[in-house]
């Protein structure tokens, strides 16, 4: 999009990285609603999903001026009561407790929602929020499958809502600078990006089935997924490793890195995908692979993304265990964690000298609230298009792994080429009434 430019504005290069699809969405006509906020108006937020990342959402929003978390929502009332006690002590504030997110959306006093539910709820929760006139901060991955990710984009555009994806790297001042260096040719022509997720993932065993515990609305927790007996193999964290609910580590921690790969290379979805992996250590109930290597090829751009998930005892690569490596014809760049980069510039065969580097984060929640306050989507560092595209990259790799073959993909149509079996895996069978609609 900016291949012939060497200097571009911060806002332009952030917008450019979601490709032509994002550019189309950003060019849509916008209106300023009657409830646009004044500089000192309180923005009232509800947080959905309180067992994991939702805790960070509450702190992230409560630490901002003129922002107030008024409501906590989770299908597990025991989790809600525990969090309510913690936050009353921490912030000297009582928060409303709600089990069913639909009741949150009916509350006209709530302006925005933070969605930190299970992965398989993210898209539908976002779409319902947009339909209810709420702005949304949604955790990664934005979607559980590719089809519903596109519906998220359509819903945000149709209902003119501010939707921020929880890819915090995009708000890091250091990593914004790093991407600018890639655009400016610091390491030469950048032809490949690698995403690394080497996390300590232990044996989770198999806990079998048992009665639904008191306080949990299990039907609501299952939501779009098909009915199954209750098991602690799923509730509350290990759903990540089961296909009906999670997407493995490439679709968990990995979304930060898939997004960084696409942002740094300035690409959208690929044309060829190959993935291989499996379970090698644990005889537990995980369905997703412990080890997964995915390759995404962009033949027209002459670029490639490699993504690797490894677990347990593993070495780092150039000091990176969770992060990215970009390769150019003049050197390479390391992305370490959420807010640090360093560069190594070639001075001869196999010899490198240290180049520019920086370590500085940013406030992704504040970026969202700033955009909400003036109703300006172009201010978002992680717009809804990143929720769709970076998640879709992970989904493509998972589909190739599950089908055990290379796949050809049409990025414009967002369909596999001549492959009915693979195309069926672009979506899922939704369970009524938790259905992502075709018309959002």
Which residue reads 């690929």 in tokens?
A: 270
Question: pLDDT (tens digit, 0 to 9) for every residue of the chain, 440 residues total?
Answer: 333 333 333 344 334 444 333 333 333 333 334 457 876 799 999 999 999 999 999 999 999 999 999 999 999 999 999 999 999 999 999 999 999 999 999 999 999 999 999 999 999 999 999 999 999 999 999 999 999 999 999 999 999 999 999 999 999 999 999 999 999 999 999 999 999 999 999 999 999 999 999 999 999 999 999 999 999 999 999 999 999 999 999 999 999 999 999 999 999 999 999 999 999 999 999 999 999 999 999 999 999 999 999 999 899 999 999 999 999 999 999 999 999 999 999 999 989 999 999 999 999 999 999 999 999 999 999 999 999 999 999 999 999 999 999 999 999 999 999 999 999 999 999 999 999 999 99
Q: How far apart are CA 268 and CA 412, in angstroms?
A: 10
Res 38: pLDDT = 72
The torsion of the CA quartet 390, 119, 435, 111, rounded to 10 degrees, works out to -90
Give the pTM. 0.92
Which residue reads 């590719």 in tokens?
A: 146
E strand or H helix that includes residue 102: helix 101-105
Phi/psi at 321 (5° precision): -110, -35
Rounded to the nearest 10 degrees, the angle between the axes of helix 146-158 and helix 19-26 is 20
Res 310: pLDDT = 96
DSSP-derived secondary structure for 121-189: HHHHHHHHHHHTT-EEEEPSSS-SSHHHHHHHHHHHHHTT--EEE--GGGG-HHHHHHHHHHHHTTTSS
The candidate with the shortest Cα–Cα distance to 206, out of 279, 282, 313, is 282
Q: How far apart are CA 195 and CA 214, in angstroms?
A: 41
Res 35: pLDDT = 54
Res 26: pLDDT = 30
Query: Could you give the C-alpha distances from 386 to 150, 190, 191, in angstroms and in order?
Result: 11, 21, 21
Decide if 163 contacts 386 (C-beta within 8 A). Answer: no
What are the structural domain ranges in the chain?
10-170+364-384, 173-201+234-361+392-426
Classify 10-170+364-384 by CATH class: alpha beta
Decide if 237 contacts 51 (C-beta within 8 A). Answer: yes
Neighbouring residues of 180: CB distance < 8 A, sequence distance ≥ 6:
8, 10, 13
Res 36: pLDDT = 72
> Does the domain formed by 173-201+234-361+392-426 have CATH 2.40.30.20?
no
Neighbouring residues of 267: CB distance < 8 A, sequence distance ≥ 6:
19, 298, 301, 303, 305
């Amino acid at each position: 999009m900016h291949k012939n430019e060497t200097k571009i504005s911060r806002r332009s290069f952030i917008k450019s990285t979601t490709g032509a699809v994002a550019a189309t969405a950003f060019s849509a006509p916008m209106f300023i609603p009657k409830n646009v906020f004044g500089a000192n108006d309180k923005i009232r937020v509800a947080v959905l999903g309180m067992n994991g990342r939702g805790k960070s959402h509450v702190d992230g929003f409560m630490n901002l001026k003129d922002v107030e978390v008024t409501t906590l929502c989770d299908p597990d009332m025991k989790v809600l009561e525990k969090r309510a006690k913690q936050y009353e002590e921490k912030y000297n504030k009582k928060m409303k407790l709600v089990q069913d997110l639909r009741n949150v959306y009916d509350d006209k006093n709530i302006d925005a929602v933070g969605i930190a539910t299970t992965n398989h709820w993210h898209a539908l929760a976002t779409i319902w929020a947009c339909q209810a006139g709420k702005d949304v901060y949604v955790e990664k991955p934005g979607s559980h499958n590719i089809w519903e990710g596109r519906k998220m984009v359509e819903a945000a555009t149709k209902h003119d809502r501010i939707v921020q994806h929880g890819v915090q790297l995009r708000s890091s001042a250091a990593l914004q600078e790093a991407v600018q260096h890639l655009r400016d040719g610091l390491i030469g022509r950048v032809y490949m990006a690698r995403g690394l997720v080497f996390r300590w993932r232990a044996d989770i065993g198999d806990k079998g089935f048992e009665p639904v515990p008191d306080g949990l609305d299990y039907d609501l927790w299952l939501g779009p997924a098909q009915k199954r007996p209750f098991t602690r193999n799923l509730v509350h964290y290990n759903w990540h490793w089961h296909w009906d609910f999670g997407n493995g580590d490439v679709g968990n921690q990995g979304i930060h890195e898939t997004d960084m790969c696409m942002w740094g290379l300035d690409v959208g979805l690929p044309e060829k995908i190959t993935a291989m992996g499996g379970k090698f250590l644990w005889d537990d109930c995980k369905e997703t692979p412990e080890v997964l290597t995915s390759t995404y090829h962009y033949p027209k751009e002459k670029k490639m993304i490699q993504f690797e998930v490894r677990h347990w005892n593993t070495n780092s690569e150039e000091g990176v265990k969770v992060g990215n490596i970009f390769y150019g014809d003049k050197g390479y760049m390391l992305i370490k964690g959420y807010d640090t980069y360093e560069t190594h510039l070639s001075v001869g065969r196999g010899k490198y000298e240290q180049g520019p580097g920086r370590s500085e984060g940013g406030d992704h929640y504040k970026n969202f609230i700033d955009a909400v306050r003036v109703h300006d989507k172009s201010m978002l560092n992680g717009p809804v298009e990143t929720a769709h595209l970076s998640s879709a990259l992970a989904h493509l790799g998972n589909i190739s792994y599950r089908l055990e073959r290379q796949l050809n993909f049409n990025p414009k149509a967002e369909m596999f080429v001549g492959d009915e079996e693979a195309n069926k895996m672009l979506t899922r069978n939704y369970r009524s009434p938790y259905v992502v609609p075709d018309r959002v």
